[in-house]
Amino acid sequence: MSNDRLRRWVLTTLLLLLFFLLESALVPWLLPAEWRFELSIYPKLVLVCAVYIAILTNRHIGTAFALAFGLLQDIQFYGHMIGVNAFTYALAAYMAGVLIRPNLVNLFSVFLIQLSALLLYETATYALYRLFSVTDADFAWTFVHGMLPSILITLFLALALYIPSRRWLETPRAERESGDE
């Protein structure tokens, strides 16, 4: 691995750590108080970035980032069940990498895959919490008051991050043609 590629992955990891801090410390303060009490909105910046990594580079690398940062989220916030976020983040990133074809990467396909990954994450997390009796909330109520608002906010952030992510993560044409991947 070249020094430039190694530097790029180290910077990507630091950027994901920054997004982890933003989504856990800053974003809750930016949302209006009514939204925090009436709706459960948790934007998933790290998941969006892991899905972008899976789509634009390699599904295995995206899955590794998703697994690592999902476990970090589990340890930091969800001590009652370690591993749920790690598993569902990794599952969503891996499936996103499986769904995309390199010649079909465009805004519309990436938007649909981000939506699919977020839906998969939210429903799988709910299903695991329901399976292990962590929650007894009805799915319809949870979807309307938690999943849907979080997905909409996260999709907006995913759209805002699309161009910077694509520029940062895509392999330059000269490097692809030389077979240096």
pLDDT digits (tens, 9 = 90+) for 52-108: 999 988 899 999 999 999 999 899 887 678 889 999 999 999 999 998 877 778 888
Contact between 58 and 52 under an 8 Å Cβ cutoff? The reply is no
Q: Which pLDDT band, with edges at 50, 70 and 90, does 177 fall under?
A: very low
Contact between 123 and 131 under an 8 Å Cβ cutoff? The reply is no
Residue 121 has pLDDT above 50, yes or no: yes
According to the model, what pLDDT value does residue 96 have?
A: 94
What mean pLDDT do residues 105-115 have?
90
User: Which percentage of the chain shows pLDDT scores above 70?
Assistant: 86
According to the model, what pLDDT value does residue 181 have?
A: 43
Q: What is the CA radius of gyration of the chain?
A: 17
Q: Please tell me the distance from the alpha carbon of residue 38 to that of residue 58, in angstroms, as a whole number.
A: 38
Residue 137 has pLDDT above 80, yes or no: yes
Residue by residue, what is the 3-state secondary structure of 147-159?
HHHHHHHHHHHHH
Higher pLDDT, 180 or 36: 36
Task: Give the number of other CB atoms < 10 A from CB of residue 147.
Answer: 20
Q: For the whole model, what pTM was predicted?
A: 0.85
What mean pLDDT do residues 124-148 have?
89
> What does each C-alpha distance from 91 to 6, 30, 78, 116, 177 come to in angstroms?
25, 29, 18, 11, 31
Residue 173 has pLDDT above 70, yes or no: no
Residue 141 has pLDDT above 70, yes or no: yes
Residue 145 has pLDDT above 80, yes or no: yes
Residue type, 133: S
Average pLDDT, the chain: 85
What mean pLDDT do residues 44-54 have?
93
